[in-house]
């Protein structure tokens, strides 16, 4: 198992959280996504380490930006 934490900017409500969670969950190998609205922290658990480009693309598909 691999766990990574990212920061997503632009989320303002629970709908935002749901959108980000849904898009990241579609990445192959992802088993859990925990999004903290107040801080923008997104913790992703997956079978193998994820390609950061895939995570960035998923966040952008949801309409938000990956910080950093």
For residue 10, the enclosing domain spans 2-66
How many Å apart are CA 27 and CA 37, to the nearest integer? 21
Number of domain units in the chain: 1
Please give the chain's pLDDT, 68 residues, in tens: 999 999 999 999 999 999 999 999 999 999 999 999 999 999 999 999 999 999 999 999 999 999 96
CATH of the domain at 32: 3.30.70.100
pTM: 0.94
Contacts of 40 (CB under 8 A, 6+ apart): 7, 8, 9, 11, 67
Per the CB < 8 A criterion, the answer to whether 10 and 34 are in contact is: no
């Amino acid at each position: 198992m691999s766990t990574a934490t990212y920061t997503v900017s632009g989320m303002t409500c629970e709908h935002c959280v749901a959108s980000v969670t849904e898009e990241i969950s579609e990445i192959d190998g992802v088993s859990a996504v925990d999004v903290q609205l107040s801080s923008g922290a997104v913790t992703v658990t997956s079978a193998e380490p994820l390609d950061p480009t895939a995570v960035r693309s998923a966040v952008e598909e949801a309409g938000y930006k990956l910080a950093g």
